[in-house]
Amino acid sequence: MAETLVFLEKEDFLARLRELKKDGYSRRNLALYLPWHLPEVEEILEVSPGPLRYFAFFGGLCGFVGGMGFILYTVLSWPLITGGKPLISIPPFLLVSYILTILFGSLATFVGFLFLARLPSIQGIGGAEEYGNRFVIVIEEGLRPWNP
Amino acid sequence: MESLKLRPAVFYLLLLSAVGGIALAEYGGSGGGKGSLLVTLVFWSCLAQGAVAVVAITDLVRARWVASLKRELLSLYPLQFLVFLLFLLWTPRLSLYPWSAEPGLWLNEPFFVGRNLALLLLSSLLAALFARLSLRGDRRANLLAVLYLLVFVASQSLVAFDWVMTLEYPWYSTLFGAFFCVEAIYAGFALAGVASYLLRRQRCDADPETARKGLRDVGNLLFGFSVLWAGLFFAQYLLLWYGNLPEEVHYILRRTGSTSALALSGLFLAGNFVLPFAVFLSRKGKRLPAVVGGVSLVVLGGLFVERVVYVFPVLSLHAGVLFVENVLIIFVGMAAFYGRKTLLPRGGEGD
């Protein structure tokens, strides 16, 4: 059976969490419900950062390469010489590539977040229990994967 | 070497000797390299004002990472007084500026010297006062931080517009002043990075957790400022590029026209943007004091090379004179840094 501990104060909650960690509990058998994100929790439970950052990185990279490729393709397939400048001029190309880096990076991060949090699935939204502004530790008996 | 017992009188004697040495190197030497002092001046005004500006900003926003580096950054405030004296040394050379032949309302020698000396003096006085009050934990430090930042922005803008931009008179770029202010703050964060490395043992013994977080914060700030720097640099470059006006473009052409100029320009782009951006993108890069300190030194080097690129197409430089001048100032800076226990007031915070 799961045991539920409810705290009103952040410090009490963190102190109890440190004790539990010392007693050998880990991410595998603790479920936490927090009113807001606490970076201390990740440090106590030694959580490594999730794969979300790779979504951001590769999204941004695709945006940059795609932006460059798209401009090069359009410029070479429909040459418009203006102001005597060379067709392939890096400075203005950088602007569009940079903006597409941000756009694709942020979209990929958002999609990655939905994918990792399994948000669109109703079952994945989490427990029906509502704890408001309290800090809750649920100690599970069995093993369950825990994602902060 | 952990600390140095220096009496203020001895330190200021050292500072004045360094100024004397610089005067000797500049005026008593080979006669070549009339721009060396200007490069030194612009670079050290950026560092000295930036270090105090970073503390003023972080004090106002109540940033916690700076607490353990506050004394170290503030210990460099006497360098502003040194910059003031060096500007006095620079005044006989004002005839090198193209506008000196036809002085105008804004660009004439008496007004040029007057406004710059006044701002440099005001800036160094406010920095000294702010350092004292801030280290004592005095409540009036916030007011002084605001005043100092106002003078800092005016002073660095004039460094950009008056000292550097008028070398290329009548070329102008309206972003130049803001660009210099951002660079000075960037230099301040780079100095914080260097100080983090120098104090790594001391800080780790005191509180490893705070030291780790502080190092990460400095790395993040350097990363952010490298992107901001690149954005401002690019904004300025792009406007000149697509405007393609002869009177504007010659400025860039003179700085990219030869192989050596192009190499120098590439060097400061790599040092100010490419390297800090690439290194601090990873979390591991922000964990090691040696990496943060090393990249900070590269950033400072990049800022120095950038100042060389501003000056060398117009005025000749002498490598030996540049070296002697900067080594002397680094020596004074080190003395201020290691003598901070006796030169700065004892305070509640940051001790």
Predicted confidence at residue B19, as pLDDT, reads 94
Token pair in block for residue B69: 């580096």
Hey, which of B65-74, B250-259, B302-311 has the most confident mean pLDDT?
B302-311
Instruction: State yes or no: pLDDT of B348 exceeds 70.
Output: no
Token pair in block for residue B173: 């770029």
Task: Enter the DSSP assignment of B66.
Answer: G
**Average model confidence (pLDDT) for chain B?**
91
> Is B106 an interface residue toward A (CB < 8 Å)?
no
Strand-by-strand arrangement of the A135-139 sheet: A3-7, A135-139, A30-33
**Percent of chain A predicted with pLDDT > 70:** 87
Instruction: State yes or no: pLDDT of B262 exceeds 90.
Output: yes
Instruction: State yes or no: pLDDT of A121 exceeds 80.
Output: no
Burial class, A68, CB count within 10 angstroms (exposed 0-12 / middle 13-18 / buried 19+): middle
Predicted confidence at residue A1, as pLDDT, reads 58
Q: Which of A49, A92, A94 sits opposite B242 (nearest CB)?
A: A92
Predicted confidence at residue B48, as pLDDT, reads 96
Token pair in block for residue B343: 């030169």
How far is Cα A144 from Cα B178, in angstroms, rounded to an integer? 54
Helix (H) or strand (E) run with residue B216 in it: helix B208-243
Q: How many other CB atoms sit within 10 Å of the CB of residue B242?
A: 14
pLDDT digits (tens, 9 = 90+) for B220-249: 999 999 999 999 999 999 999 988 888 889
pLDDT digits (tens, 9 = 90+) for A2-54: 788 888 888 888 888 888 888 878 777 788 888 888 888 888 887 777 889 99
List the alpha helices (DSSP H) in chain A: 10-22, 39-44, 52-77, 90-117
A vs B, Cβ pairs < 8 A, gives 15
Residue from B236, B241, B248, B274 to probe the interface with A (highest A Cβ count within 10 Å): B241
Predicted confidence at residue B271, as pLDDT, reads 96
- Model confidence at A146, in pLDDT bands (50, 70, 90)? very low
How far is residue B5 from each of residues A5, A13, B75, B81, B339, measured CA to CA in Å? 56, 47, 14, 21, 6
SS3 A52: helix
A-chain residues within 8 Å CB-CB of B234? 91, 94
What values do phi and psi take at A139, rounded to 5? -95, 115
- Spell out the domain ranges in chain B: 8-343
> For residues B138 and B117, which has the higher predicted lDDT (pLDDT)?
B117
Average of per-residue pLDDT across B317-327: 91
Helix, strand, coil proportions of chain A in percent (round to 5)?
55, 10, 35
Closest-CA residue of A relative to B281 is A57
Distance in Å, alpha carbon of A1 to nearest chain B alpha carbon = 36
Q: Do A49 and B283 touch (CB under 8 A)?
A: yes
SS3 B307: helix
- Model confidence at B150, in pLDDT bands (50, 70, 90)? very high
Rg (CA), chain A: 24
- Spell out the domain ranges in chain A: 2-35+131-140, 51-117
> For residues B203 and A73, which has the higher predicted lDDT (pLDDT)?
A73
Spatial neighbors of B43 by CB under 8 A, at least 6 apart, are B303, B304, B307, B326
* Residue B300: closest CA among B275, B317, B332: B275
Instruction: State yes or no: pLDDT of A141 exceeds 70.
Output: no
Average of per-residue pLDDT across B152-173: 93
Q: Do A92 and B283 touch (CB under 8 A)?
A: no
> Is A92 an interface residue toward B (CB < 8 Å)?
yes
> Is B242 an interface residue toward A (CB < 8 Å)?
yes
- Model confidence at B5, in pLDDT bands (50, 70, 90)? confident
- How many helices, marked H, and strands, marked E, lie in chain B? 15, 0
Predicted confidence at residue B349, as pLDDT, reads 44
